[in-house]
Amino acid sequence: MKRSVVEMATPAGTPIGTALAALAAEDPHRPAVTTSAGTLTRRDFEDRTNRLARAYVEEGVTPDSFVTILLPTGASFLEAVVATWKAGATPQPVSHRLPERELREIIELADPSLVVGADLPDRISAPAGWSGADGFSSAPLPPMVASSLKAPTSGGSTGRPKLIVSTEPATAESLRSFAALVRLQPDGTVLSTGPLSHNGPLFTDVAALLLGCHVVVMERFDAEQALALVDRHGVDWMYAVPTMLRRTTDLPQDLLAATDTSSLRTVITMAAACSPALRQSCLDLFGPDVMLELYAATEAHAVTLVDGHGWLERPGSVGRPVVGEIEVRGPDGAPRPSGEVGKVRRRQVREESLTAAIDPAGDVGLR
């Protein structure tokens, strides 16, 4: 579809705000985000994030600073992230359920210009439900591109919290390349089932918005409700970690048979190991063409993908690297041959992009 508003790119790429403004101008009444509270159109989402970005700047957000976001999962979380990019800053998402000590350590490490979702006496902050954006203009902001797309905390490390600061700029191209890798399609309908403080749900949602998709957000996962939302909205792409898949495949057979999931083209899983038994249950329910598994996306030093056919051909495999390099090394640091046990070493190839991992037909080396 031809865009009615030209996306003006900076040397780093197209600002995320510019890309979303083009989509809002093209089809302002198309649904953008749906939650249990209702639906925001593209124009609603554009106007709200423009006002919020101006309010953030007024509060002291500066280009390339971090904005810590710890809101509950919902439309307001996505608005805060997009407003941060529009202000030229980098979102630093964390769970709103973090213990106070851990949150303090993260904030001390990140030193954000603003904390969204908490009322902290020693930090510039905007608590949940903050109305500070009221009265600000909803007009587009000057194009801004933060040098880092994101700065999530590490979910698998020990000791003090660590930030994973992206080396990719906050551009539409960065996220659209990821979208192509995980089979998101323009103008589709996406079901977001996980906490938006987590890397997978958050950045697949924003990538989907940049493709003009309608994103249906579940504030809390429920397997039966998820299938009902797939049926109601004609969802074609769904995120589900293995625990969610287990709860779904364990539903009564009569309920599964009565729910129409034929709209689904992709069900993607990540964030934990998917057991052989669960893989088979997913294949039985959704089929090999629909299933897709992603490994190591948060750090993105090296990323692998495998689809349902790969599951069948190589049981236990997480696929082949589509970004970066992966080796298995022994105690001496030397690479181990196939079939031997060792430590996994992942290496980022700096000149490699997600776009380069995708062939012109849109396929990736999954098996």
pLDDT tens figures, 155-210: 555 667 788 898 889 999 989 988 988 999 999 999 999 999 998 899 999 999 99
pLDDT digits (tens, 9 = 90+) for 15-65: 999 999 999 999 999 999 999 999 999 999 999 999 999 999 999 999 999
Read off the DSSP letter of residue 72.
P
CATH, domain 221-357, list 3.40.630.10, 3.40.50.12780, 3.40.50.261, 3.40.50.720: 3.40.50.12780
- pLDDT reported for residue 298: 56
User: pLDDT band for position 260 (50/70/90)?
Assistant: very high
Instruction: Give which of 300, 310, 296 is closest to 364, Cα–Cα.
Output: 310
**pLDDT, mean over the chain:** 88
User: pLDDT band for position 301 (50/70/90)?
Assistant: low
Domain with CATH 3.40.50.12780 in the chain: 221-357
Size (the chain), residues: 367
| CA 17 from centroid of its chain's CA atoms | 17
- pLDDT reported for residue 167: 86
Contacts of 22 by beta carbon, 8 Å cutoff, 6+ apart: 3, 4, 5, 6, 7
Say yes or no: domain 40-166 is CATH 3.40.50.970.
Answer: no
pLDDT at position 350 over 70 = no
The more confident residue out of 325 and 112 is 112
Domain with CATH 3.40.50.980 in the chain: 40-166
User: pLDDT band for position 297 (50/70/90)?
Assistant: low
Which H helix or E strand runs over 66? strand 66-69
**Which residue in this structure is represented by tokens 């851990």?**
102
Range from 101-105, 113-117, 217-221, 302-306 carrying the lowest mean pLDDT: 302-306
Mean pLDDT confidence for 64-84: 97
pLDDT at position 325 over 80 = no
Read off the DSSP letter of residue 357.
G
Read off the DSSP letter of residue 31.
E
Do 191 and 226 form a contact (C-beta atoms < 8 A)?
yes
Q: Per-residue DSSP letters for 228-262?
A: HHHHHHT--EEE--HHHHHHHHTS-HHHHHHS--T
| pTM reported for the whole predicted model | 0.87
Question: Encoding tokens for residue 219?
Answer: 């504030």
Do 203 and 220 form a contact (C-beta atoms < 8 A)?
no
Do 217 and 229 form a contact (C-beta atoms < 8 A)?
no
End-to-end Cα distance, the chain: 32
SS (H, E, C) 337-353: CCCCCCEEEEECCCCCC
Which alpha helices (H) appear in the chain, and where do they start and end? 16-26, 42-59, 75-86, 100-110, 172-181, 199-210, 223-233, 242-249, 253-258, 276-286, 308-313
Q: Which residues on adjacent β-strands are paired with residue 292?
A: 268, 307
pLDDT at position 351 over 70 = no
- pLDDT reported for residue 360: 32
- Please report, as a single letter, which amino acid is at residue 44: D
Do 229 and 220 form a contact (C-beta atoms < 8 A)?
no
